[in-house]
């Protein structure tokens, strides 16, 4: 009877009543129920009776099943796993979680930001990357994003940002997207958001999967060693599979093909043992380095180029267990940037400082009680205890009279309760840099004034295709803005400080005159380009973790199909068979081969590369099927490898496929090609800004 929903407090004891091996259905109060099909009525066709407490309890509970969704990051997907420290950094941090060889249980939640809980997985949006580590010194939550910088410098602007980007207040749309008036109205008035906008308009906001995106702690934190010496640190998660993103047209079509594309990918990867993995890296620097930079390390709109401070890998995280229950775990998990452990500390980043209040506060309205830490997904795995008591939904039963401290109850043979320890968390003396203490001022430090240099750095570090994608995204998003006369020119005026060519491309793409350059609070400087900022320069030529769609139909050669599946699996990818009928197709050997997906419902945007394995007759039959033509046409337009039998050529011709390096046969050449995207094809298939 292990699967029976039961009160976690009852120690997992089984119900006494059972029907064979099946536990008996009971009310929430344990009373066995004899009929779960019919409500209690006065006469078979008469009114339902108020007396029916079984019905009332069931409907009452159902009526209250939902809790408020997160104000931001409402749509998310979670998984369990572990973190393993792989390097000794005891010279930098005394945190137990970093002890070389130490394994710590983790829970991770990935999310989009703007959309509601029921929105789709693939809009253009920043992704949340929140990690809860259940360390033996308490929970450490690294609540980050897949982009290393943020829109704003000061927490006081966060409600404005979120109001502007979420659906518009009067009309309740658009859902899950920034391509609308209020977002760009706000953004074009906020030069400090320019750097983040460059990232947001790049393919970083169109990740292929959670498994192929980086994560960042964003803020500067501190590491503190046993002697109390502190260093500054930035945290990075690097995906084992390398970076991979979709392109805009593909993301749009994915939205139509599968609303749950990323959630499904995460779940299925873990379910099939292809465990997602990341390395944890740190950039460590000191006050002298901080003061020597042309930007402020406390400014969350800035990053530290990896060329200046290399990322040192200190551990790995593997997600190896799916949630058992989405609500209990993924929905109820409460991340708190205030969850840190001795050996890690905050910096004075004013955005981080604001977050230290917000997350604790929001959990109370979301989860309804100050006791949300007692919900199993949030409970520390190490012993914990203090004198905080009572409150809504208190599930712990503290014994004795000691609910205050100091007390001398132990001297009288009673439980005295826990006491503070010198080994506990102690805040680092934060006033180590200039202007970190002094008069009370409602100001922004002058060192935060440069809003464009790193936006320029980001743009310059991209490949030609990536630059074109950024320009085209600005054009697309700004073309959705109704306030055409003021907002796009204001945005382009800002972009002139980033890169003149970019500004021109965006103005041209919109069909507007190039506006005067916006006045910069501080003149931008040129920083040396950084390869780490480009996705294309950090993609891995691998099939590991990828999905290859194989289109078959009646008459497909059985041996060729077997060989191809074998080669794909040998390269640690998954072969997904697509056929006109889900029941499968009759192959050349007369056997029926089961399909994984029906052609009309399994378009090629779901795959990283496709193979078209058709006989002459099979191809002839599919020439009249729009879904087959789209399958090939979209794979080509999305710059993917297409392997095809000679007999499939008429379908490729109808889909407008032109030969290039990515168009191959179905042998080893295809396996090699499938590891890549063919960005050189793009100018031939799409007009970019």
Q: Which residues lie near ligand HDE (CB under 6 A)?
A: 70-73, 76, 109, 111, 128, 130, 143-145, 150, 155, 158, 218, 300, 335, 351, 354-355, 358-359, 362
By CB atoms closer than 10 A (0-12, 13-18, 19+), residue 558 is middle
| Strand (E) or helix (H) holding 266 | helix 261-271
According to DSSP, the β-strands at 574-579 and 277-285 are: unpaired
Q: How far is the CB of 116 from ligand HDE (least distance, A)?
A: 13
Query: Cα 522 to chain center, whole Å?
Result: 33
74 vs 539, beta carbon nearer ligand HDE? 74
b/e sequence 12-41, b meaning 16+ C-beta within 10 Å: eeeeeeeeeeebbbbeeeeeeeeeeeeeee
Q: How far is the CB of 364 from ligand HDE (least distance, A)?
A: 11
96 vs 164, beta carbon nearer ligand HDE? 164
Q: How far is the CB of 147 from ligand HDE (least distance, A)?
A: 8
Residue 555, phi-psi category: left (phi > 0), alpha (psi -120 to 50), beta (remainder):
left
- Rounded Cα distance between 37 and 605, Å, is 43
Q: Is 403 a catalytic residue?
A: no
Residues 6+ apart with CB under 8 A from 522: 449, 450, 451
- Among all residues, whose Cβ is closest to ligand HDE? 128
Q: How far is the CB of 145 from ligand HDE (least distance, A)?
A: 4
- Rounded Cα distance between 256 and 52, Å, is 44
Tallying the residues shown for the chain, one arrives at 689
Q: Tokens 């990323």 identify what position?
A: 262
102 vs 105, beta carbon nearer ligand HDE? 105
- Rounded Cα distance between 605 and 608, Å, is 8
Number of H helices, E strands in the chain: 18, 20
74 vs 270, beta carbon nearer ligand HDE? 74
70 vs 640, beta carbon nearer ligand HDE? 70
- Which of the residues 7, 36, 64, 73 is marked catalytic? 73
DSSP tag of 3 = T
| Strand (E) or helix (H) holding 560 | helix 558-570
Tell me the β-bridge partners of 239. 278
- Answer for the pair 543, 573: CB distance below 8 angstroms, yes or no: yes
Q: How far is the CB of 111 from ligand HDE (least distance, A)?
A: 5
Residues 6+ apart with CB under 8 A from 500: none
By CB atoms closer than 10 A (0-12, 13-18, 19+), residue 460 is middle
- Helix, coil or strand: residue 575: strand
- Which of the residues 139, 145, 494, 634 is marked catalytic? 145
DSSP tag of 192 = G
Q: How far is the CB of 656 from ligand HDE (least distance, A)?
A: 41
234 vs 640, beta carbon nearer ligand HDE? 234
Q: Is 638 a catalytic residue?
A: no
Q: How far is the CB of 351 from ligand HDE (least distance, A)?
A: 5
143 vs 527, beta carbon nearer ligand HDE? 143
143 vs 478, beta carbon nearer ligand HDE? 143
Q: How far is the CB of 304 from ligand HDE (least distance, A)?
A: 15
Residues taking part in catalysis: 73, 145
């Amino acid at each position: 009877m292990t699967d029976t929903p039961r009160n976690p407090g009852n120690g997992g004891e089984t119900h006494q009543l059972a029907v064979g091996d099946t536990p008996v259905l009971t009310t929430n109060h344990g009373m066995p129920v004899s009929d779960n099909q019919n409500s209690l009525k006065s006469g078979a066709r008469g009114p339902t009776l108020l007396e029916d407490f079984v019905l009332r309890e069931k409907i009452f509970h159902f009526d209250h099943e939902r809790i408020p969704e997160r104000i931001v990051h409402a749509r998310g997907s979670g998984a369990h796993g572990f973190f393993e420290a792989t390097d000794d950094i005891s010279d930098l941090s005394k945190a137990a979680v970093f002890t070389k060889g130490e394994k710590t249980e983790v829970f991770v939640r990935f999310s989009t930001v703007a959309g509601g809980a029921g929105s789709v997985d693939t809009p253009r949006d920043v992704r949340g990357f929140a990690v809860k580590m259940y360390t033996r010194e308490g929970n450490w939550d690294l609540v980050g994003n897949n982009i290393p910088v943020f829109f704003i410098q000061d927490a006081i602007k966060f409600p404005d940002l979120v109001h502007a980007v979420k659906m518009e207040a009067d009309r309740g749309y658009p859902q899950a997207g920034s391509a609308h008036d209020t977002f760009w109205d706000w953004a074009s008035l906020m030069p400090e958001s320019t750097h983040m906008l460059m990232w947001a308009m790049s393919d970083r906001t169109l990740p292929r999967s959670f498994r192929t995106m980086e994560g960042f702690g964003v803020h500067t934190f501190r590491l503190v060693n046993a002697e109390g010496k502190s260093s500054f640190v930035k945290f990075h998660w690097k995906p084992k599979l390398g970076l991979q993103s979709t392109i805009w047209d593909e993301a749009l079509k994915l939205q139509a093909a599968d609303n749950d594309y990323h959630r499904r990918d995460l779940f299925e990867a873990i379910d099939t043992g292809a465990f997602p993995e990341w390395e944890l890296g740190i950039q460590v620097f000191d006050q002298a380095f901080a003061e020597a930079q042309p930007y402020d390390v406390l400014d969350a709109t800035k990053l530290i180029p990896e060329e200046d401070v290399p990322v040192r890998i200190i551990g790995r995280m593997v997600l190896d267990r799916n949630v058992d229950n989405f609500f209990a775990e993924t929905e109820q998990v409460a991340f708190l940037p205030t969850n840190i452990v001795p050996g890690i500390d905050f910096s004075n980043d004013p955005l981080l400082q604001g977050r230290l209040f917000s997350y604790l506060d929001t959990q109370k309205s979301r989860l309804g009680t100050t006791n949300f830490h007692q919900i199993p997904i949030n409970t520390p795995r190490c012993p914990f205890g203090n004198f905080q008591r009572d409150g809504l939904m208190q599930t712990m039963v503290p014994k004795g009279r000691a609910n205050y401290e100091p007390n001398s109850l132990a001297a009288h043979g009673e439980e005295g309760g826990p006491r503070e320890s010198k080994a506990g968390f102690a805040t680092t003396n934060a006033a180590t840099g200039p202007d970190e203490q002094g008069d009370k001022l409602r100001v922004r430090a002058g060192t935060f004034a440069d809003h464009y240099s790193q936006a320029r750095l980001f743009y310059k570090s991209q490949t030609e295709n990536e630059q074109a994608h950024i320009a085209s995204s600005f054009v697309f998003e700004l073309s959705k803005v109704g306030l055409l006369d003021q907002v796009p020119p204001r945005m382009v005026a800002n972009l002139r400080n980033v890169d003149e060519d970019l500004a021109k491309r965006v103005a041209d793409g919109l069909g507007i005159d190039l506006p005067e350059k916006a006045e910069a609070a501080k003149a931008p400087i040129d920083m040396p380009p950084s390869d780490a900022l480009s996705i294309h320069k950090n993609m891995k030529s691998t099939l590991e973790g990828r999905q290859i769609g194989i289109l078959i139909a009646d008459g497909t050669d059985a041996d060729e199909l077997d060989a191809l599946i074998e080669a794909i699996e040998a390269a640690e990818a998954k072969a997904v068979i697509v056929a006109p009928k889900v029941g499968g197709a009759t192959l050349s050997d007369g056997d029926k081969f089961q399909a994984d997906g029906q052609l009309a419902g399994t378009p090629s945007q779901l795959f990283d590369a496709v193979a078209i394995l058709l006989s002459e007759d099979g191809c002839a039959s599919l020439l009249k099927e729009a879904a087959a033509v789209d399958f090939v046409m979209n794979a080509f337009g999305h710059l993917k490898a297409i392997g095809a039998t000679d007999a499939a050529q008429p379908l490729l011709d109808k889909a407008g496929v032109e030969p290039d390096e990515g168009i191959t046969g179905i042998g080893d050449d295809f396996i090699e090609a499938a590891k890549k995207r063919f960005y050189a094809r793009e100018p031939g298939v799409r007009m970019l800004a």
